[in-house]
Amino acid sequence: MAEPYPRHPASKSAQGMSGSRPGSGHGHSKSWSGSSGGDLLSPSGMTPRSMEQSDAVPTGSVADTTDPHRNEVRQVGWTFLPRRMRMTSVRKLVFLCLLFAFFRTVWFLYKAPNKTSTETRPIDSYMPPMPDTPTGHTSQGGRIDPIQWLRENTILDFDKLPAQEVQALAESRPKAAFISLVRNEELDDMVASILQVEARFNGRDTHQYDWVFFNNEEFTEEFRATVSNATGSRCFFERIPKEHWSIPSWVDETRFDVGRQFMGAIGVGKAWLQSYHHMCRWNAGIFALEERLANYDWYWRVEPAVKFHCDINYDVFRFMQDNNMAYGFNMAILDDARSFPSLWEQTKAFIEKNGEMVDNDADFNWLLYTADDRDDVIRPHTGADDGLSDGEYNNCQFYSNFEIGSLDFFRSKKHRAYFNHLDQAGGFYYERLGDAPVHTLSVSLFLPKDRLWYFRDIGYAHGLCEQCPPHEHQLEEMIDSHSNKPLPRNTEQEADAEADSEAETTRLGRRSVIVGPFETIGSQHRRWKTMAQDVERQKGIPGLSCGCTVSAIDSNNAKLVPYESKQRKPSDTCIRKFLGGKWLARKDMVSDLNSVAEIAAGSDGLEYILDGRIGIPFQ
């Protein structure tokens, strides 16, 4: 029978070498210091000690009987550790560590929120920009906080809602509809818009809001069938009555023809098209009176060929209803002043006659020029004092191609009276009076500011104008566990914090404070860290899922104003004037690269502290 294979065979040469180590200069010495062959280094003082002083392996052990040389090597290696830390103790230590890790994991899972529950919400990674409260504003008693509403009603996965809850939400839906003014030849563009709305919002079982399509002609069967197949919701196809889509009897058609030809010649967009004037008039006030909309309380305007970039994880109509909102928008931009030269004069005349209609908490100062808005182009003699006294309209408007609103408001006595006043003056035909400035002035005059909502979280694009909310950076990537600095609560604290941050990175140069494509890594890290500091204070609203590149809040400010237009521009962009407060605060330095929005607005080159590209602006 063959002998068992030895675990550590020792050849004769090896044995000879082992036997010759103590007394010869050949082979490997047992001394690491290169001194006498019988010395070893002690682990504490690193002084040599003899082999006899080390711990010996007990005689009769397995290692001793099988391989004396291995015993000797083992003695040498383990002499660096005290007896209590040798192999048996190390194994116990590893076992204890694994046991600790196991119980720690169990504790963490027990304490962590249930990710699949719809009752718990992840930490905020997006906070809506809130406008500054006007001086003397009286808040609505018993009103729900819209931020808290979003925390409690934002649902990331509607498929995980219990069937009973889905049914309850579906049965209690607000009376709302999507409305579209569209022509038969715009079928492909309309279907593209519908598919996006359905995918981002309306396709969920809890929503399924109706679609109502309007046309000044009869819809074709192809249009009806194709559009109906693009959505699971009910579709209604309405022809606008002729009296709602024709030149009123009080309008001088000759004057209208001359005026639209002149406006077309000087480049006022689509002003030469008669149908465009009809459309502006219908959208400004008549649409809410259409018979098909009589049973609805809310509308969402959807144009052909628009894009919706972000998933909408809450019921927008329910948000408007529960929070007593009346008008929602997602862009405030400048319009071409040549389109409506008499609009503000007509508006002031209406206010003089109907001053009691203006809401006590209305804030329309953001729509007026201030002393800082000097006019050095078309009225070179207008100085600061004149700027305060003339109180002219600064041509800011809510971009009405996207709007969500209350039909009750646009059917109200106040709005109808204002619309009729402008209509009787002929402004929709003698000029190119648009629905956007009319809606903007109406809701700003007849509603308190806290009934207007900025839907910054709805990514949207139409033509030249596009807005994309902050969504790119996840909070998990930004949390800095070593930072315990409190988050600034107001503009002054924010400016101080920004100054401290700039002082720390002076060596990076002036461009280190630039936000955007030229932003340095250091500046970007500081922004991320600031967002992470807000984690503990704000809880509930999840981050956004979008398919677009984040844009500044004022990136569209002057896109509708032709380059050759020499109209007077406000010193701050329209959306900043609406938001007010900290959104108007600027840094105390001039950047090397001004943003397009600042250049378009005639800025003096000072950067704003907030640009709207981060998901949690300082609240």
Rounded CA separation 324/453 (Å): 10
SS3 readout for 531-594: HHHCCCCCECCCCCCECCCCCCCCCCCCCCCCCCCCCCCCCCCHHHHHHCHHHHCEEEEECCCC
Type of residue found at 528:
W
Rounded CA separation 26/11 (Å): 17
Residue 450, judged by CB atoms within 10 A of its CB (0-12, 13-18, 19+), counts as buried
Rounded CA separation 205/522 (Å): 45
Known catalytic membership, residue 165: no
Contact 410, 393 (CB under 8 A): no
Query: Which residue, among 79, 498, 126, has the nearest Cα to 312 in the 3D structure?
Result: 126
Rounded CA separation 51/69 (Å): 14
The single residue of 198, 403, 466, 607 carrying the catalytic annotation is: 403
Which residues, 6 or more positions from 95, have their beta carbon under 8 angstroms from its beta carbon?
none
Which long-range CB contacts under 8 A does 144-152 form with residues at least 24 apart? 144/322, 144/323, 146/319, 146/323, 146/325, 146/453, 147/541, 148/540, 149/319, 149/322, 149/323, 150/314, 150/319, 150/540, 150/541, 151/121, 151/124, 151/539, 151/540, 151/541, 152/121, 152/540
Rounded CA separation 67/14 (Å): 12
SS3 readout for 398-428: ECCCCEEEEHHHHCCHHHHHHHHHHHHCCHH
Question: How far, in Å, are 93, 115, 193, 271, 502 from residue 104 at the CA level?
Answer: 16, 19, 50, 70, 40
- What are 12's two structure tokens? 């004769």
Query: Which residue, among 256, 254, 190, has the nearest Cα to 226 in the 3D structure?
Result: 190
Rounded CA separation 540/128 (Å): 12
Active-site residue list: 403
